[in-house]
Structure 1
Amino acid sequence: VVYGIAVPSGLFVPSLLSGAAFGRLCGHLLHKLDHTSGTFADSGTYALMGAAAVLGGMARMTISLTVILLEATGDMQYVLPLMLVLMSARFTGNVFNEGLYDIHIHLKHIPFMEPEVPPIAERHEIVAGQVMSTKVKCLRPVERAGLVYQLLKESSHGTFPIVDAASGGTLYGTASRAMLCTLLQRRAFGSPDVLEEDDINGSLGPRRLSPLVQWDTIERAYPRYPTIDDVDMRESDQNCWLDLRPYANTAPYTVNETASIQRTYRLFRTLGLRFLCVVNHNNQVVGIITRKDLLPEALTNSLLRGRNAHVVDDIRSVS
């Protein structure tokens, strides 16, 4: 009843209240129907079981709710009845739909990854190269401040690969959006004539500039890192250089474009990743995978696109 409305009611307490009221009503009715036999239906016990049933059917939790309700009552004789009620509520609810919290995740389009690999990935041979996003926005190890500012303005990505342009796009590392915004706000720029030509072209020589902003200064802004709207980029700063090498994550997690989706999915689940850089055999960045790319809907679309591409190729070969 209260789900989705703009009042601080939540789901936990209303479920407890409605379940307890319904359980107490059932206890009163049983007592009225069988008051001549000498037995007594405790309304409080029925209220507790009703609260557990409604809350368990909504949240689909068993062990944790059993412990919570036992802690609230302080009576261990209700262990077995509570477990039976909660398991029955969970089983009955799963027959009809998912739990309310799971439905909320889908309605909010949150890329939540289930513990098990999607069935479509088990039935079909899908590789990382089929599901990755190929339009990757990359940066050089030493980049123009104006270009970095424009890139952050035009996109909402949380991480950007850093590639060595001189070697054909070899992956050097990654730079987070929070770090880039902090560097721009702190004006960690080098003058246009400070860097050597090799640095400007992106060559990974032994020369390395000392960081203009220390790492602890960047981390001091956690968790309220500056956004790109907080950066005041002057016209004179557009042509200055931003050396990302001291701040880059030079050991990001990567996956080869020929890796299976099962392996990629387990990497995301096991390591809690938000993205994966996809590289070829020469360690050149060819794409990037996020959690949204591994959802069952996205995998289905990728599989359909691959089949359509094969059909087009067959038609062209015949014609």
Structure 2
Amino acid sequence: IHIDLRHVPLLEHKAEKQMIALRASDCMAEDVTSFESESAVGDLLDTLRDCRHHAFPVVDPATRRFLGLVERSTLLHVLALAKEHNALRDPAESNSDDASGAVGVVPFTEMVKRGYPAHPRMSEVVERFGAADAHLALDLLPYTNRGCYTVLERAAAMKCWMLFRTMGLRHLPVLGEDHTVRGMLTRKDLLAAAERHELEPCASAKPSETPAPERDAEGPSDISSDTTSESGGRRGIRFTDRVCAKV
């Protein structure tokens, strides 16, 4: 009852039968928001403010190949602690002689001390940065899960269903043959695809293509008249009676 009241997308132990005909590409959400492995603070804040997703693919800026998955809660913690741990880099100074030493990394222990996996409010994170900080770059690779589960877009939807059930996943990136992100799967996507496919008419149930019986060219347009057998006797049932009987 509580699950229904909270609208939790719960997957049954076994996938719906209609899922056997579907692939990951039939179920995934195609409009995926991703981050480059090194992203500007301004872009990160704008995306986190406008997008409520809980995880984001991280891609190579040159090839767009998938590198891993970074969680929203992790990003908010890292941004909140980035200045304190010198985790930001100024791209304008990266190639200059005045560039400072190595860029720091926000330790995971510091995130835990601040309540991870709970995360600070978006407003608290935004307050730590000014307009002059928008261009600063943050390396996301130290905070990216580079060993997350992924599937190809041709993968069977039932396989994706079982991955969510057995591995406790919340997100499943869908990749193409070139290892670029094609979509993202969640439990809601799988349930919506199963319901949508169940309501669609079966592809094999096509209208009958059997031609209608030809009418006698010399006879009247109404074919409800009695027909005569070859022996000269009259049949006791008319064509319209047979049609009505079938109906």
Partner residue of 2:88?
189
> Once the 2 structures are TM-superposed, how far is the Cα of residue 159 of structure 1 from its aligned partner?
0.5
Percent identity, aligned pairs only, is 31
Match of 1:178 among 33, 58, 73: 73
- Is the aligned partner of 1:146 residue 2:42? yes
CA distance in 2, matches of 1:195, 1:307: 59
d(CA) in 2 for partners of 1:130 and 1:278? 11
**What corresponds to 1:300 in structure 2?**
195
- Counterpart residue number, 2:12: 114
- What letter is aligned with 1:174? L
Equivalent position to 1:236, from 132, 140, 164: 132
Q: Which amino acid aligns with 1:154?
A: D
Residue 119 of structure 2 corresponds to residue 225 of structure 1:
yes
> Is residue 178–residue 227 contact of structure 1 (8 Å, CA) maintained in 2?
no
**What TM-score does the superposition give when structure 2 sets the normalisation length?**
0.71
Which residue in the other structure is 2:30 paired with? 134
Q: CA shift at 1:195, angstroms? A: 3.6
1:212 and 2:110 correspond? no
- Unaligned runs of at least 5 residues, structure 1: 1-100, 197-208, 309-319
Amino acid corresponding to residue 118 of structure 2 in structure 1: R
The separation in 2 between residues aligned to 1:136 and 1:111, in whole angstroms, is 20
> Which residue of structure 2 lines up, in the alignment, with residue 261 of structure 1?
157
Asked whether the equivalents of residues 173 and 184 of structure 2 are also in contact (C-alpha less than 8 Å), the reply is yes
- The answer for the alignment partner of 2:233 in structure 1 is none
The 8 Å contact of residues 171 and 186 in structure 2, kept in 1 or not, is answered as: yes
Structure-2 change in CA distance of 1:112 and 1:281 (3 Å): same
What residue number does 2:57 align with? 161
SS in 1 for 2:165: helix
Kept in 1: contact 2:18–2:197 (CA 8 A): no
**Unpaired runs of at least 5, structure 2:** 96-101, 204-247
Aligned 1:31-110 pairs, distance under 5 A: 101=1, 104-110=2-8
Q: Secondary structure at the match of 1:287?
A: strand
TM-score (norm 1): 0.55
Shift of 1:302: 5.8
Q: More displaced, 215-224 or 273-282?
A: 215-224
**What CA distance in whole angstroms lies between the structure 2 residues aligned with 1:210 and 1:306?**
58
**Is contact 1:161-1:174 (8 Å) kept?**
yes
* CA pair 306-234 structure 1, distance change in 2 beyond 3 A: farther
Deviations 1:169-225 (A, max 9, x none): 2001111111111121113321232446xxxxxxxxxxxx65432222123222432
Give 1:189's aligned amino acid.
L
Higher relative contact order (CA 8 A, sep 6+): 2
Whether contact under 8 Å (1:210, 1:246) holds in the other structure is no
Whichever residue aligns with residue 194 of structure 2, its letter is L
Counterpart position of 1:282: 178
Aligned residues: 191
SS in 1 for 2:92: coil
Tell me how far apart the structure 2 counterparts of residues 286 and 250 of structure 1 sit (CA, whole Å).
Answer: 17
For the 8 Å contact 2:18–2:198, the answer to whether it is kept is no
Residue 249 of structure 1 aligns with which residue?
A: 145
Matched-pair contact (CA < 8 Å) for 2:73–2:117:
no
